[in-house]
Structure 1
Amino acid sequence: MSVDFVEGFRLARVWDEDRAAAECLAAVFADEPEVCDDFAAVSDDVDLVFVADCNGDGSDHLELARPGLEKGVATFVDKPLALTGADARALIRLADAHGAPLTSISILRALPKAELFARRLGEVGEVQFGSVQGGGTAMAGHVHAASLALGLFGNGVESVRAMGETELQMVHLGYGDRADRPRRGVALNCDVGAVWHCAFHASAYGPQGAIHSPPLSDWDFPFGAAAILRIVKEMVQTRRSPAIIGDMLEAVAICEAAREAQATGEPVKL
């Protein structure tokens, strides 16, 4: 496997609530990044802050990103941008208020192999129905499924339904009457059991047949990571937030609506 190297990054500071873990990470890098005692210090005298997927659901991302954003530092927040739409919008407002470029991108949204599959959609004629399988029941996983669906079939989801014996086992995304979106919506099968190397799969159906993606798995994720790094590098250089932040905001809203829909048994409008 050969992934293009993305130049121009140097790890300068690290922090973790477990200092031993931060010291272990710092020891891996030849640049010997400084281990900070306070997460607010990570954003001092740097060009970019990376907020990792800390507790798995994004509920702490607003708190962790705040110091850097208030200093105007460009910030990448690992998926999900936040647990709730309210927190996600608060992050965007905070970034705007301080002129800090901000983005958050699912690796599934940036995979070259997923882009190749999207180019094949015309093979089925007008796409009537789509599906994405994978992600699991945790927010850190099923936000990938939502992001992949938006990347393949388009944004602008109007309604969300959810059902199943486990959390977000089956989610249906409805696009209303939009002629340029799947008329029968898109299904997210998040809880599909054990999968090979964290693989996701996508399918599209239309009057001329069906197409199915190859596995989108650990073997492909490094290529998505490189694509994200190139987007982040441009964000730092231009001091402009990429438009793709809007898709992550919608993905967070989809996941939040799905939780509500499963709890109430009713469809939720976005």
Structure 2
Amino acid sequence: MRIGIIGTENSHVDHIIEYLNVQRRAGETRVVAASGGPSERNEKLRATGQLERLVDGPTDLLGLVDAVIITDRHGGLHREHAVPFLAEGLPVFVDKPLACTEADARAIVAAAREHDAPLTSSSAVRWVPDTDALAEQAASLGAPQAVITTGPADPDSQYGGIYFYGIHAVDVALRLAPGVIGDVRVEQVADTVIATADVGGVRVVVQLVLPGPDGQVPFHGMVVGRHGLAARELTLGTSYVEPGLRAFLEMAETRRPPIDYDDLVRPMQFLDPIVEAIRQR
């Protein structure tokens, strides 16, 4: 399978090319092209991964690849970059976040459904072993009562504000609390944005802490069940990109998305009210 990459400024691209092109962990599947032209960054990627070509614009990849991975750091670009490939029926992996508005997320999903094109998107934290272990522990605690996740996020990030890093804690929280999202209530305490909602009958609290000059909080998750609780730090190992990449590769082969399309939109449903609350503060 020939893969094209859009948005090479993201460090995740290095992991993807290392996995597919250098280590050849997926057989003949490899990255063959990237958009963005012959920049210094792209030339380095071409040399490392022995890419066949660099093209100027994202749609220049059409006809050259069998699937695309979109890794723009700013999620506001993802709708524009994803839809042309979905319209051709190609498998598409949109690195976090799927979009920077619920409206854009729904438009991307609508294109996937209309053209029967496999689509997936997720935070890398969703797939790390610690998150899997927390979900497994939570299943033994009785009926879930509350989910609390914590992570760093900067409301003023140049890459889509709170969406850029806030997606991590939100995606994990909503994996642990499936269901309809109620009204999202937002408050700010010191340097932390706290968002709370009832999700499928479970109280979900997401704490997004502004990074400081001395570092940032780790990702953390806690689930309170009817007769117990589970909590753990969600650690990103050196191979943290690989689980989501493997899920995409399986989807490209089977054409069965690993995450339900309605669930792809849910993080944007949660994050949009946070963005609006920050805008009004």
TM-score, normalised to structure 2's length? Answer: 0.78
Task: Sort the Cα spacing of 1:209 and 1:71 in 2 relative to 1 into closer, same or farther, 3 A.
Answer: closer
Q: CA deviation at 1:23?
A: 1.7
Instruction: Name the residue aligned to 1:112.
Output: 129
Q: Distance in 1 between matches of 2:42 and 2:66?
A: 20
Partner of 1:38: 57
Kept in 1: contact 2:109–2:261 (CA 8 A): no
Q: Secondary structure of the residue that 2:268 maps to in structure 1?
A: helix
Contact 1:51/1:64 (<8 A) preserved? yes
CA distance in 2, matches of 1:24, 1:163: 44
Find the residue that maps to 1:164 and give its secondary structure: strand
User: Secondary structure of 2:144's match?
Assistant: coil
One-letter identity of the residue aligned with 2:245: L
The alpha-carbon distance between structure 1 residues 99 and 166, as it changes in their structure 2 partners (threshold 3 A), is: farther
* 1:252 is the counterpart of 2:271: no
Preserved contact between residue 66 and residue 91 of structure 2 (Cα < 8 Å): yes
1:163 and 2:201 correspond: no
Kept in 1, the 8 Å contact 2:152–2:211? The answer is no
Q: 1:64-114: CA deviations, max 9, x gaps?
A: 123322222211111111111111111112223333211112112222221
Tell whether the 8 Å contact from 1:111 to 1:227 is kept in structure 2 after alignment. Answer: yes
Of the three residues 230, 254, 265, the one matched with 1:211 is: 230
1:172 matched residue in structure 2: 196
- What residue in structure 2 maps to residue 268 of structure 1? none
Counterpart CA distance in 1 for 2:239 and 2:39 is 27
Q: CA RMSD, aligned part only?
A: 2.9
Shift in alpha-carbon separation, 1:166–1:43, aligned structure 2, 3 A: farther
2:3 is matched with which residue? none
Unmatched 5+ stretches in structure 1: 266-270
* Cα offset, 1:160, TM superposition: 0.7
Shift of 1:134: 0.3
Q: Does 1:61 align with 2:81?
A: no
* Structure 2: distance between partners of 1:17 and 1:248: 30
Contact 1:6 1:226 in 2 (8 A): no
Structure 1 letter corresponding to 2:98: L
Match of 1:99 in 2: 116
* Deviation for aligned residue 1:25: 1.6
Is the strand fraction higher in 1 or 2?
2
Cα distance between partner residues in 2 of 1:23 and 1:151: 38
Query: Hey, what does 2:209 align to over in structure 1?
Result: 191
Sequence identity percentage:
27
Quote how far apart the aligned CAs of 1:166 are. 7.6
Corresponding position of 1:230: 246
From 31, 38, 43, the equivalent of 1:23 is 43
1:162 and 1:259 in contact (8 A); partners too: no
User: How many residues align structurally?
Assistant: 251
